[in-house]
Structure 1
Amino acid sequence: MAEDVVDLCAALLRFDTTNHGRGRSAGEREAAEFVAGHLDAVGVPATVLESAPRRANVLARVPGVDPGLPALLVQAHLDVVPADPSEWTVPPFAGVQRDGYLWGRGAVDMKDMIAMVLAVLGDWSREGRRPRRDIVLAFVADEEDRGEYGAQWLVDHHADFFTGCAAAISESGGYAYPVGDQRIYPIGTAERGTSHLRLTATGRAGHGSRRNDENAVVNLLGALARITAIEHPVRLTPAVRAFIEQVGAALGVHVDLDDVDGTVARLGPAARLVENTVRNSTTPTVLQAGYKVNVIPGTATAEVDVRTLPGTVDELLAAIDAALGPDVRREFIANEPPVQAPIDSPWFDAMAAALRAEDPDAVVVPYCMGGGTDAKAFSRLGIDCYGFSPLSIPPGYDYRAMPHGVDERVPVEGLRHGARVLDRFLSS
């Protein structure tokens, strides 16, 4: 049985758990059985639950020495996005170690986190250690689609398993982000909401050579032009405000909250962590219409990726409705609210302490994630969800280009660093 975090991660990368979306998936079953087998071997009884054939989730609980304390949920997803082998330097599911990195689809999104947790539990088993509080584990399916076979399903059908969990940790935070001579460590304390929309325009079908003032394609394009022209005002959530102020102070940058865009521009590379979360966004991504060049279709559809900040959802949807026009209607593909967890909390303080124990010069700051995670599901249970998947990274390594990118890879020493940080945090 693999024990080293690198070997564990390599083994996980060799399971093809590709999620193609819209319910099409290679399945997580074999990876789930591997994880459950490892947990059982280190004295943590695990249960594999299938929400559909081969769509597998793993649940387990590690008893703490003080069961009266609120429990902590550690949640991570087993599935990965597709990878085209022809684009990769190495086969994406080979789990190859080369040049100080472990290569493979899911290396940072997020089989590295699963491997780090398993490695920590293995150390605890061998050394006879237990955490201070109960640690609840959920290794889930389907995060890379809509969570219908994973976190959302677990919350809907197995919510009792998470009773007593006050906080959770998962992906997108706790990694080192070098900016000049500073190392910024963002911890996710919020994420924008996801209000994915499908727009359907209607018109009058007809011959392409004839005048038609009721062209569904034209109606749709007009609506999309108006939606993309919406000027989204700056809205500073607590996480974003704290990020700007604390990173600005660490970098010696003048912070002017009356000129947020100018201040963000002065943050240099750190701007990438905040520039997408100071306002809402409406981004058209999918267009479908027609079947033949000389036929005007009667309908045309588009999909729009809408991301929302707390307290802005109703206002933004009203602006979108005003932009649609009379012949275009909207419906939700997904509608999940923004997520926020407290910045000033013992949980955040403990994460920061664990990072600084390994890197005394760490500048630990809260931040808001621009995208979405399974936190949206677990927060429905009243759990405060944080992005904390610690990793140290070497110079020149572009962490943010790795998830969903070609040649995804994780630094080997970064994995070992992350396991040490997680051990400190989960133990305390």
Structure 2
Amino acid sequence: MDPEASTNSPDTDPAGEVVDLCRELIRFDTSNYGEPDGSGGPGERKAAEYVAGLLEEVGIESRLYEGTPGRTNVVAHWGGGDPTRTDGLLLHGHLDVVPAAAEDWQVDPFAGEIVDGYVWGRGAVDMKDFDAMLLSLVRARQRAGRLPDRPIVLCFTADEEAGGHHGAQVLVEQHREEFEGCTDAVGEVGGFSTTVRGRRLYLIEAAEKGMAWMKLTARGRAGHGSMINDDNAVTRLAGAVARIGAHQWPVRLSPTMEVLLATVADLAGTEATPENAPALIEEFGGAARMLGAVIRNTANPTQLQAGYKVNVIPTEATAHLDGRFLPGYEDEFFTTLRELCGDDIEWDFLSHQQPWETPYDGDLVAAMTRSVLAEDPEALVAPYTMSGGTDAKHFRNLGLRSYGFAPLRLPADLDFTALFHGVDERVPIDALQFGARVFDRFLTDA
């Protein structure tokens, strides 16, 4: 069926509910404070029940799963009308968000307000926008009887913002049967546009850096702060942290980024090389802060703690580190990190997850490209590597080919990547509607 046929009625328009649903989802405070045991924060239960109710309202049954009380995941099966299609497709989005300090915002971060053509609120771009797109188009297609031929698994997870250990990891380890038959997965942080030399370029996530959230510990000899002490844990740790923070990691181009940089180089009238990769990244403007992090490994110290009194040298000092490593460069990352730390610094992993990279080819990539170009014919589409982490790290353990595709056509002057976990997070209304239409086309073609 022609996707345009669904736009005749508000009830069957794939974009008909997307704005209202995004606002409603934002109003559920699902702040994730990242406690390892899953405690702290309100959890996702109320939002998950709301999502399950929206699906049930149009006749789609879902199941709720919790590995930890209140950390709730939603799973539903949909479509699959063609018995010859055994290649299931997983569509996943998370319901939790990072915390927001209301005093820093222009609007209440959990009010879902509309201001100047944008939906504002925590989760507007990470990632209740995509959740709303999925729900809007699924409900519209279900009402119109436009079920996909391909079997679809809809999954809305908990705890993604803290590594997914109480969300996607629980589903993969304890409820693997829900994903039986799935061959591909599509989730967040891809399909959004950037503008390079006047051309809109849509970035599809085809790779993701690995994650090493680490606690570094230095130990030394306690003593009085007024005396000489050549075994000071604070000094030892501070030196390691300073070396890590100042280290210049070399450029390393993965296959995914080679394709992206070749696309940009063509626009710039040059060729992509490791030497000019940083200059090509600068063509992305504000998005360079994210894309500049995926042509090299990174390690950023984020927390320090030591001592309990100004005149007491403590026996222990600790630091937390956010390390990210490119596909194929994990050994190089940890070898370099050990050299920077020195032998006297102990390591503990808070979360250690592998990178992944899916070849940018095949029918699914072609369907994503066609769906974007059908709505924006003059655009370009290319893959990129994500600097952060998503639930794809867990779902990849099921052997799925994974991509990030939450399409948004964005204004050229919007510093979109700054809105992830940022103050005044917001998404354009017309971008939400565009995304729902594009994804509707994608499901017809996938």
Tell me, yes or no, whether TM beats 0.5. yes
Which piece of structure 1 moves more, 181-190 or 66-75?
Answer: 66-75
Alignment partner of 1:73 out of 76, 90, 100? 90
Q: Is the 8 A contact 1:264 1:274 kept in 2?
A: no
Residue number in structure 2 paired with 1:124: 141
Q: Is the 8 A contact 2:209 2:387 kept in 1?
A: yes
- In structure 1, what residue type is equivalent to 2:64? V
Alignment of 1:84-95 (within 5 A): 84-95=101-112
Residue number in structure 2 paired with 1:41: 57
- In structure 2, what residue type is equivalent to 1:286? Q
Alignment of 1:94-243 (within 5 A): 94-243=111-260
* Structure 1 position 126, deviation (Å): 2.0
Between the aligned partners of 2:243 and 2:102, the Cα distance in structure 1 is 39
- In structure 2, what residue type is equivalent to 1:14? R
Quote the sequence identity (%).
Answer: 49
- In structure 2, what residue type is equivalent to 1:110? M
3-state SS of paired residue (1:183): strand
Alignment of 1:52-67 (within 5 A): 52-67=68-83
- Taking structure 1 as reference, are residues 158 and 412 closer, same or farther at Cα in structure 2, changes over 3 Å only? same
Which piece of structure 1 moves more, 181-190 or 329-338?
Answer: 329-338
- In structure 2, what residue type is equivalent to 1:409? R
Q: Is the 8 A contact 2:253 2:274 kept in 1?
A: no
Q: Is the 8 A contact 1:204 1:298 kept in 2?
A: yes
Query: Unpaired segments of 5 or more residues in structure 1?
Result: none
Between the aligned partners of 2:243 and 2:232, the Cα distance in structure 1 is 17
Alignment pair present for 1:255 and 2:283 = no
Between the aligned partners of 1:126 and 1:258, the Cα distance in structure 2 is 51
* Structure 1 position 229, deviation (Å): 4.5
Alignment pair present for 1:348 and 2:348 = no
- In structure 2, what residue type is equivalent to 1:143? E
* Structure 1 position 138, deviation (Å): 0.7
Residue number in structure 2 paired with 1:307: 324
Residue number in structure 2 paired with 1:394: 411
Alignment pair present for 1:11 and 2:24 = yes
TM-score, structure 1 length as denominator? 0.96
Alignment pair present for 1:377 and 2:390 = no
Query: Unpaired segments of 5 or more residues in structure 2?
Result: 1-10
Between the aligned partners of 1:87 and 1:11, the Cα distance in structure 2 is 22
* Structure 1 position 345, deviation (Å): 1.9
Between the aligned partners of 1:190 and 1:416, the Cα distance in structure 2 is 26
Between the aligned partners of 1:400 and 1:190, the Cα distance in structure 2 is 17
Between the aligned partners of 1:380 and 1:317, the Cα distance in structure 2 is 22
1:164-216 CA distance string (max 9 Å, x none): 11111111110121223200100000010001221110110000000000000
TM-score, structure 2 length as denominator? 0.92
- In structure 1, what residue type is equivalent to 2:51? V
Q: Is the 8 A contact 2:251 2:274 kept in 1?
A: no
3-state SS of paired residue (1:353): helix
3-state SS of paired residue (2:33): strand
Between the aligned partners of 2:26 and 2:376, the Cα distance in structure 1 is 28
Q: Is the 8 A contact 1:193 1:372 kept in 2?
A: yes
Between the aligned partners of 1:268 and 1:186, the Cα distance in structure 2 is 11
- In structure 2, what residue type is equivalent to 1:118? L
1:240-292 CA distance string (max 9 Å, x none): 1111001221x234124141345425635264453111111121111111111
Between the aligned partners of 1:224 and 1:422, the Cα distance in structure 2 is 44
Count of aligned pairs:
427
Q: Is the 8 A contact 1:42 1:121 kept in 2?
A: no
Residue number in structure 2 paired with 1:267: 283
Between the aligned partners of 1:403 and 1:265, the Cα distance in structure 2 is 19
* Structure 1 position 231, deviation (Å): 4.0
* Structure 1 position 421, deviation (Å): 0.5
Q: Is the 8 A contact 1:102 1:409 kept in 2?
A: yes
- Taking structure 1 as reference, are residues 181 and 150 closer, same or farther at Cα in structure 2, changes over 3 Å only? same
Between the aligned partners of 1:333 and 1:234, the Cα distance in structure 2 is 27
Between the aligned partners of 1:421 and 1:325, the Cα distance in structure 2 is 51
Q: Is the 8 A contact 1:253 1:267 kept in 2?
A: no
- Taking structure 1 as reference, are residues 329 and 44 closer, same or farther at Cα in structure 2, changes over 3 Å only? same
Q: Is the 8 A contact 1:207 1:294 kept in 2?
A: yes
1:51-93 CA distance string (max 9 Å, x none): 2221111000112222433111110000111111111121111
RMSD: 1.7
- In structure 2, what residue type is equivalent to 1:109? D
3-state SS of paired residue (1:30): helix
Between the aligned partners of 2:229 and 2:359, the Cα distance in structure 1 is 55
Between the aligned partners of 1:93 and 1:373, the Cα distance in structure 2 is 22
Alignment partner of 1:357 out of 374, 397, 416? 374
- Taking structure 1 as reference, are residues 244 and 57 closer, same or farther at Cα in structure 2, changes over 3 Å only? same
